[in-house]
């Protein structure tokens, strides 16, 4: 039923939902509430038909990073009883561990809620922003950013493949040299992005981008009553949750 | 077999040379593998100089690979592949961006490698180059082999 209700919603509505969820994720500290927000984000993301499971699969790769963040949080913000200590040095404390977990939950909320936006194409998002009176140049920059993200990750994969095809077995070389190799990944990606952005700006100027002060659009988005209702409900829900959290009755 | 193990036996030239350049200078692009293999400094310098001279890149040795022209990138990518002394070569459109003189240089190098017993598969639309330097031509269309002549 939820799937039918959210089907074909305006990208601006989705943007408001994502903003509400990620704002809650940033401001709330309580682990149980954060878990609740994450669950709601997951349910909404699935209802919108976003590729949530493939995103979660991809997130498995950065699971190590999440664990590292949890441990670092635990070390630098210790509180409560000691859970793990080595040679008298307390490594993980109860309070620090909980802070680490809440950080991981917060990042997951931002990532999972952002998948809702992937159910609208970039043209719809840019049009939504333009109709919200955001200058076309800025809206266009957002869409270019969205478009280029997969290209950057593909370029990184290309470089890793190119390095391996030179006969370098990444798993067998010492860590010091491996670090040098990974530093090579940054160079082509950054320079490639700069070259591409220069070419793109030239191409845009040759096609008279910003030559006229007003632009018209072939695509016009129109908000339906359910979009307005969803936006109002999301905002009210967001404010109520924050009020309950900061000023409990 | 890992990709690294395959790469140590087979040299692969990408269709777009920009995709396989990653170092901060032309010299480093060629010396990269030699350094990882543990070659001595003298050996690296000698091999790199030879390679740069062969591919007419000596005057660009300190340049940033990404700022080179298409033809220069192509020559650099081929030089970087050959420095590894592979046993077999796969070259995807190796003549793209090369002028007539440099095509001749490339043809000479490939002929030398062939005489050394290094096999190679060349993927190319440059029919003249292919006819002149190959001993087996497999024509493909729509993903299928339409002609195979030796």
Q: Please report where in the chains the tokens 């049009």 appear, as a residue.
A: A127
Size of interface A-B (CB pairs under 8 A): 67
Query: Which tokens go with A187?
Result: 């160079």
Determine which of B1, B4, B78 to mutate to test the interface with A (most A C-beta atoms within 10 Å).
B4
- Cα Rg, chain A, nearest whole Å: 23
Q: Residue B91 forms beta bridges with which residues?
A: B13, B122
For range A45-73, the mean pLDDT: 79
pLDDT, tens digit, for every residue of A67-78?
777 777 777 776
User: Considering only CB atoms, which chain A residues are within 8 Å of B9?
Assistant: 167
pLDDT at position B123 over 80: yes
Q: What angle do CA A192, A197, A201 make, to 5 degrees?
A: 150
User: Considering only CB atoms, which chain A residues are within 8 Å of B24?
Assistant: 187
Query: Which tokens go with A179?
Result: 């670090």
pLDDT at position A5 over 70: no
- In our burial notation (b when 16+ CB lie closer than 10 A, e otherwise), range A218-249 reads eeebeeeeebeebbeebeeebeebeeeeeeee
pLDDT, tens digit, for every residue of A77-103?
767 777 777 777 777 777 777 888 888
Give the SS3 label for residue A197. helix
pLDDT, tens digit, for every residue of B25-64?
999 999 988 888 888 999 999 999 999 998 889 999 899 8
Residues contacting residue A151 through CB under 8 Å, at least 6 positions apart: A196
The reported pTM is 0.67
* pLDDT (0 to 100) of residue A17: 95
- Tell if the CB–CB gap between A187 and B24 is shorter than 8 Å: yes
pLDDT, tens digit, for every residue of B90-122?
999 888 878 888 888 888 888 888 888 888 999
Closest residue to A162, CB basis, from B6, B10, B20: B20
Burial class from Cβ neighbours inside 10 Å (0-12, 13-18, 19+) for residue A125 reads buried
Is B27 within 8 Å of B77 (Cβ atoms)? no
* pLDDT (0 to 100) of residue A87: 72
CA of B3, closest CA in chain A: separation in Å?
Answer: 6
CB count within 10 Å of CB A25 equals: 23
pLDDT, tens digit, for every residue of A143-172?
788 777 777 878 888 888 888 888 888 777
ipTM summary value? 0.82
């Amino acid at each position: 039923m939820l799937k039918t209700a959210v089907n074909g919603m305006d990208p601006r509505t989705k943007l408001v939902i994502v903003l509400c969820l990620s704002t809650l994720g940033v401001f709330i500290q309580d682990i149980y509430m954060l878990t609740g927000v994450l669950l709601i984000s997951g349910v909404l993301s699935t209802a919108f038909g976003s590729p949530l499971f493939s995103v979660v699969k991809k997130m498995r790769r950065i699971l190590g990073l999440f664990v590292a963040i949890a441990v670092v949080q635990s070390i630098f913000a210790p509180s409560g009883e000691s859970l793990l200590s080595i040679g008298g040095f307390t490594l993980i404390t109860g309070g620090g561990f909980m802070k680490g977990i809440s950080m991981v939950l917060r990042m997951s909320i931002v990532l999972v809620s952002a998948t809702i936006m992937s159910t609208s194409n970039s043209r719809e998002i840019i049009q939504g922003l333009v109709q919200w009176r955001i200058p076309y140049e800025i809206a266009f920059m957002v869409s270019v950013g969205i478009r280029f993200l997969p290209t950057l990750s593909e370029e990184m994969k290309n470089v890793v493949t190119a390095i391996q095809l030179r006969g370098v077995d990444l798993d067998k070389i010492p860590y010091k040299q491996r670090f040098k190799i990974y530093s090579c990944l940054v160079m082509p990606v950054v320079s490639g992005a700069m070259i591409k952005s220069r070419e793109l700006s030239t191409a845009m100027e040759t096609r008279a981008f910003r030559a006229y002060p007003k632009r018209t659009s072939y695509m016009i988005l129109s908000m339906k009553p359910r979009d307005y209702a969803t936006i109002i409900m999301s905002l009210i829900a967001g404010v109520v949750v924050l009020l309950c959290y900061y000023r409990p009755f | 077999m890992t990709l690294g193990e395959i790469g140590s036996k087979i040299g692969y030239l990408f269709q777009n040379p920009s995709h396989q350049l990653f170092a901060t200078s032309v010299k480093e692009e060629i010396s990269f593998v030699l350094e990882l293999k543990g070659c001595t400094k003298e050996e690296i310098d000698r091999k790199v100089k030879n390679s740069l001279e062969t591919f007419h890149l000596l005057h660009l040795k300190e340049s940033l690979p990404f700022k080179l022209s298409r033809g220069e990138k192509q020559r650099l990518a081929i030089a970087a592949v050959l420095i590894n002394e592979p046993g077999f070569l796969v070259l995807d459109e190796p003549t793209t961006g090369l002028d007539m003189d440099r095509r001749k240089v490339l043809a000479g190098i490939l002929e030398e490698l062939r005489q050394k017993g290094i096999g190679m598969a060349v993927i190319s639309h440059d029919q003249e180059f292919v006819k002149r330097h190959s001993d087996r031509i497999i024509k493909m269309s729509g993903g299928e082999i339409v002609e195979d002549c030796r």
